[in-house]
Amino acid sequence: MARILITSAIPYINGIKHLGNLVGSQLPADLYARYMRGRGNEVMFICATDEHGTPAELAAAKAGKPVAEYCAEMHEVQKELAAGFRLSFDHFGRSSSQRNHRLTQHFAGQLAANGLIREVTEKQVYSIDDGRFLPDRYIEGTCPNCGYESARGDQCDNCTKQLDPTDLINPHSTISGSTNLEVRETKHLYLCQSQMRERLEAWIDSKTDWPILTTSIAKKWLHDGDGLQDRGITRDLDWGIPVKKGEEDWPGMEGKVFYVWFDAPIEYIAATAEWADANGLDEAAWRRWWRTDEGAEDVRYVEFMGKDNVPFHTLSFPATIMGSGEPWKLVDYIKSFNYLNYDGGQFSTSRGRGVFMDQALSILPSDYWRWWLLSHAPENSDAEFTWENFQASVNKDLADVLGNFVSRITKFCRSKFGEVVPEGGAYGQAEAELIAELTSRSRAYEEHMEAMEIRKAAGELRAIWVAGNEYLQSAAPWATFKTDPEQAAAQVRLGLNLIRLYAVLSRPFIPDAAATMMAAMGCDDWSWPGDIAEALTALPAGHTFTVPEVMFRKITDDEREEWQTRFAGVRD
């Protein structure tokens, strides 16, 4: 039994996320967690809400609430939506937790003691109209490198060049739109990433199995321009983790907080500690996942994230871990994703363009969305959600293939043999060929899941469903029954056992449908199939079952057109 630690990029607190956010980290992480649990491994799946920084302050102000109250409410909203999509977190924490306060301050103290933090008196952009220093992402202007007109103060999304706000041409405040900006002096702390460049590069070079997307982004940041730069880790804000060296005050840093991108990844560790606290466990319970001197040396740590988060997780967070000089667990594999676009354009949180998580669950069950998103995951390139494609995938894959198989075999059995697995007959050449195909495809499915090749895994799973349909169509037990009822019984018995097999294999992708199939078969044996022939005898003759309701309803053309119109507009 392996021990697998899984984290997905933690969603920001300011509002409900769209489907592009979901498929870029949390949903594929859940797929992998469910699969690994199904194979009998010990899994710790951690996520949280990312609650600090200016966006949280502004969203709270817009809602007319204190920022702490707003974050607490939105944490519950996001937690409920995660449950609605059946995301099986072991713990869904909060970056504003006291655990994260203490751990972030601890790491800062260790880094300072190791000479990896320096104080810098710098010039930052101050918005006179807003009455505040502007964080990097609240300044936009023209990129001096590529000319992109909507570059942010920390990075250009077009060419991915790392920037400082003062680099921008014609900058303006994204809070008010004001160009009434001036540069003022302020003192901040910087993480000396440049001192760790060679160590980080050697570590990244050792990860020969990482996706090209992950390593290419990391190396771009290591080598572009002047190479890896030192990074500011504090901000002039009210809401956040106060700057301290462990438990000690940090002279000159009074009134400042740690930068959200410094404290947010540390929350992965803190949330695991929160899990232990919530379950009444001791410190050893969470440290065995994170401290290599306390049991984590045999843990495989896998992170899931969109490509925009890769630089911080391949460079800044590892620099924090390494630079502490303590035996903390480093990530073993980073599964990164490209973007999911929406119907000819982009999802837009500000304009409400596209489908958001709450809206999705209001019109269809989570399995419909899970199947489409995972089977179209933007792994090797950007992907695009279209309503036509979504309708076709749901209707063909889920309704016509899987749902139809379950309905046909259970209803036929009920009509001829009753709601019981029939006895009699024996498997012949057709059944042997089916078992051979299912054996080959299930092994391929497992290989793709182990390698986190999500679209390929979905393709194999669908092919496994199709194989059952093709067998049923070819064997035609409804015709066989007229001349050889015992052989028809064997064919039906195999079909009913296929439903249980489908439940087990499909559970990581569509957990609710899997539970429906398993319940209909009157079974609670979720053991992963080793030998497929043996797995297809799990339901013996005489075992009772029920005929489930329609598992997947088809999406009509009228519904598709109505939804396409509804989610194209601007959301208030």
| Partners of 356 in beta bridges | 18
The identity of residue 482, as a single letter, is: K
437, 411, 415: which is closest to 501 by C-alpha?
437
Query: What is the Cα–Cα distance from 187 to 459, expressed in whole angstroms?
Result: 54
Residues 347/353, Cβ–Cβ less than 8 Å: yes
DSSP secondary structure of 273-308: HHHHHHTT--HHHHHHHHBTTTTGGGEEEEEEEEGG
Burial class of residue 361, CB neighbours in 10 A (0-12, 13-18, 19+): middle
Indicate the burial class of 437 (C-beta count within 10 angstroms; 0-12, 13-18, 19 or more).
middle
Report the relative pairing of strands 383-385 and 340-342 from DSSP bridges: parallel
Residue carrying the six token digits 């958001």: 356
47 is in an annotated binding site: no
Give the C-alpha distances (Å, rounded to integers) separating 547 from 167, 182, 419, 470: 66, 70, 8, 21
Strand segments (E) across 128-180 = 132-133, 139-142, 151-152, 169-173
Q: What is the chain's alpha carbon radius of gyration, rounded to the nearest angstrom?
A: 27
Q: Is 146 annotated as a binding residue?
A: yes
- Is 156 annotated in a binding site? The answer is yes
Angle at 85 between CA 61 and CA 78, to 5 degrees: 15
CB 186 within 8 A of CB 124: yes
Q: What are phi and psi of 376, to 5 degrees?
A: -120, 25
Q: Which is nearest to 566 in space by CA: 326, 270, 264, 363?
A: 363
What CA–CA distance (Å, rounded) separates 194 from 252?
24
Residue 463 token pair: 């092919």
- Cβ atoms 498, 537 nearer than 8 A: no
Four-point Cα dihedral 407, 412, 418, 424, nearest 10: -120
Q: Which helix (H) or strand (E) holds 5?
A: strand 3-8
Burial category of 156 from C-beta neighbours within 10 Å (exposed 0-12, middle 13-18, buried 19 and up):
buried
349 a known binding residue?
Answer: yes
Do the annotations mark residue 159 as ligand-binding? yes
Integer Cα distance of 404 and 401 in angstroms: 5
- For residue 92 the two structure tokens come to 């869904």
CA angle 376, 450, 34 (to 5 degrees): 75
Q: Collect all residues with Cβ–Cβ distance below 8 Å to 463 and sequence separation of at least 6.
A: 441
Q: Binding site for ATP: residue ranges? A: 349
Q: Binding site for Zn(2+): residue ranges? A: 143, 146, 156, 159
Q: Binding site: residue ranges? A: 143, 146, 156, 159, 349
